[in-house]
Structures are given as structure tokens and as C-alpha cells.
Structure 1
Amino acid sequence: MESTFHISSYCHIKNNSVLLDGEPLYSSPNQEFSAFIKSAVRHVKTNYPKFYKMDHLSKLAFLAADVLLKKADFSADTEHNIAIILSNRASSLDTDRTYQASIAEPEIFFPSPSVFVYTLPNICMGEISIKHQLHSENCFFIFDSFNADHLWINTQSLLKQKKAEKVLCGWVDFDDKNYEAFLYLVEENGIIAHTPNEIKRLYKT
């Protein structure tokens, strides 16, 4: 009998709010992103000193992943066969602008390695993997808009081929002051069917 897969949990971060499975977990209106994400990470008790050194995109992805993986009660001391498939529209453009500004003027040319390291969007997956000891496949796609069908196809393939026990999927985009994260965890157990239509429904929730 062919295995069927389900979405066990999902998380949104947008409009200065963090939602878990559609329910508000934290909200702090009228804050810039930097202040909001710092207060949110303290509220959900994400204990990871390196968080404050990350770029905006990595902070966004890291917090959404941490909310989901803590709910799943995975031990940070044990390796987990969890793949990551993420996507966005702006790639690492926000950090690219910061880095470009640091090298634009010859008189004050000062490229920063701590900024340069985040000029690839997939670095956020590395931060998640280090914190939660995830050892499996990962990939980051760039689309014009949220593409549930593509995420579904790749996730189904990984799970059916048993290249991962679970897959952390979704959309995490940061561009200037605009940001949005929608991450969900796919596995055999769960109550929400893992289908493109259900993924689209949850994304729009």
C-alpha cells in the first residue's frame, strides 16, 4: 500500500504576527521588522545566541522553523532525517543591497564577511539545520510567487523515495520592509492532507 503524507503543523509570520496552525502565538503591531523579530523570538523562547547575527531572511526562516520544530518536540541533541525545501521571490536581495552599499564607494570600501556570508538565500537553511541537527536533503527555489505545486512535487518525491522522514517546506521572503514566512511540516502523521490545494488554502489562511 502506497504511503500517504500529511501536513502536521504550519506557521505564518507576517504583519508583525506569528501564527501557529492558524492560531495567534505572538503579535506586536507598529514595530519595524528588527524590533518585532527580536521581541517575537524572546516571546517564543528561542534560545540561540547566533540568531542576533543573522540577516533578516535567516531570522524570518529560523523563527518559523523553530516554532514548528519545537511543537514537534524534536531533541536538539539528536540528528534528524528532516529535509528542507524553501522558496521565495526576492532571493537574498535585501542582504545584497547591504553588501553592495559596503563596497560601492572606493573611499570607504569595506566588504564585510559577516554580511557577505548571507548573500545566498539558502544560508537560512544552514542556520536551521545547525540549530535542530537536521541531516538530509535541502533546496531553495526562486519563484515569482508562492508555488504550492512545485513544493508538493519535490516533497512527495523525497518522502516516497525515503530520502527523508519528514520535510520542512514553504515560503520565506524578505525585501526591504516587506516580509512573509509560511512554513509547514510534512510527514506520515497528521490531520491535513498533503495536497497542492490544501497547501494553497493554508497559505491564504
Structure 2
Amino acid sequence: MTKIVIKNQQIWLNDVLFFEDESTDFNTFSKNCFKFLNINYPKFYKMDQQSKLAFLAAEILLKDENTLVEDQDIALVFANKNSSLDSDLKHSESIQSKDEIFPSPAVFVYTLANICLGEVSIRHHLKTENAFFIANNFNENQLTKYANYLIDSHRAKKVVIAWVDFLLGDYEAKMILID
């Protein structure tokens, strides 16, 4: 079982510090991490913060998985507390502006919490089961039971369970690969 935790400008891989940055905001931290990982994926810079958080965690978690193989079957089961509220607030602000009559489609597309599932799926060519739950806290036991059900029922060979939450600069990601 592989586990990633991202919080407070640090990334922990299996309880060992993997990356640390002295920046004070997530935007700078995520860009520095992206560069550190030496990823070539220009779409990263267009993502909302929550999707960037999920993307970075998945990049590290799935780095040794050959997700291009047809029968890889890695399912995604994510949860968070704030849904897509960070993007929702930005979208709401844009439609209330008298200067901007039309809201930005680039912001609107991220007003669903499960969009980060899509970003990870596209990047890793995952075409399997996925679910996104809203809860007050990360219930690892419940998500693990769901993951085991997916594996036992042959809907997936492996499952990534995750807590990916971002609101107003406060963020946390916990991501675990179960097989």
C-alpha cells in the first residue's frame, strides 16, 4: 500500500518527506512541485487548485504504475469536505462583476468536485470506476471498504482512495493505492 500526504507545503510518501517548499501559498508550491517532478503537461497550469492538488498526488502515487496498459483497471474513489466551493466562489464573483458580463468558462468547468477525478483519469488514461463523496472528514475505513468491494467484484484491480480538499488556500490531500 502506497500513501501520499500533501499539506503545509510538504509532500510525504509512505511517511518519508518527499518534497518540501518554502513558499507560503499553494499556487507557488504547486508550480514548484510540478517543476520538481519534471512533468511535461501544459494543461496543469489551467487547472483549478483542487485539481492541481489531486494531479500532483496522483503523479507521485501512480509513477510506478503502467497506466497505459489496457487491463490496468485502477478505480478512483475520492472525498472531501468542501466539494468545489473554492471554484464556486470564484465563479460567483465573476458573474457578479459589472465589468465582466460573461463568466469565465475556464472557472465554470471546475465548479464540480469530481472534475479532479477527470483530470487524473485523463492524465493516466483511466477508464474505470470512479466516485466522489462529500464528508466532514477523511473516513479511510469507509473508502477502503468501498475499494475492497470494487476489487472483490472485479470492477477494478487496484483502487486509489483519496481525500482532496482545497478552500481559500487551505488544502490537504491524502491518497492511497490499494491493491
Task: Classify the TM-score, shorter chain.
Answer: over 0.9
Q: In the alignment, what sits opposite 2:69?
A: 78
> Partners of 2:90 and 2:108 in 1: how far apart?
9
Q: Deviations over 1:141-182 (max 9, x none)?
A: 000111123202211110110100000111010010210000
Question: Are 1:36 and 2:29 matched, yes or no?
Answer: yes
* One-letter amino acid of the counterpart of residue 169, structure 1: I
Residue 14 of structure 2 corresponds to which residue in structure 1? 21
Counterpart CA distance in 2 for 1:107 and 1:17 is 38
Per the alignment, in what secondary structure is the counterpart of residue 92 of structure 2? helix
* Secondary structure of 2:12 counterpart: strand
Could you say what secondary structure the match of 1:136 adopts? coil
Residue 148, structure 1, aligned to residue 175, structure 2: no
| RMSD of aligned residue pairs (Cα, Å) | 1.2
**Where in structure 2 are the equivalents of 1:101-112 lying within 5 Å?**
101-112=93-104
Matched, 1:66 2:59: yes
Partner of 1:124: 116
The one-letter code matched in structure 2 to 1:78 is V
Q: Which of 30, 50, 56 is 1:57 aligned to? A: 50
Offset of 1:47 from its aligned partner? 2.2
Write the distance in 1 (CA, Å) between the matches of 2:49 and 2:39.
Answer: 16
Unaligned segments of structure 1, at least 5 residues:
1-7, 188-205
Structure 2 counterpart of 1:5: none
Letter in 2 for 1:57: Q
Instruction: Give the TM-score of the pair, scaled to structure 2.
Output: 0.95
Instruction: Confirm whether residue 97 of structure 1 aligns to residue 89 of structure 2.
Output: yes
What is the alpha-carbon distance in structure 2 between the residues aligned to residue 84 and residue 156 of structure 1? 12
CA–CA separation in structure 2 for the residues paired with 1:46 and 1:17: 18
Larger radius of gyration: 1
1:45, 1:57 → 2: CA distance? 20
Query: What is the number of equivalent residue pairs in this alignment?
Result: 178
TM-score by length of 1: 0.83
1:61 maps to a residue whose letter is: A
Read off the aligned partner of 2:69 and give its amino acid letter: T
AA matched with 2:80: N
Taking the aligned partners of 1:27 and 1:183, their CA distance within structure 2 comes to 17
Off by >6 Å, runs of 4+ in structure 1: none
CA-to-aligned-CA distance 1:79-113 (integer Å, 9 cap, x gap): 33110000000000000011111101345322111
> 2 CA distance for matches of 1:88 and 1:123?
13
1:167 corresponds, among 159, 162, 166, to 159
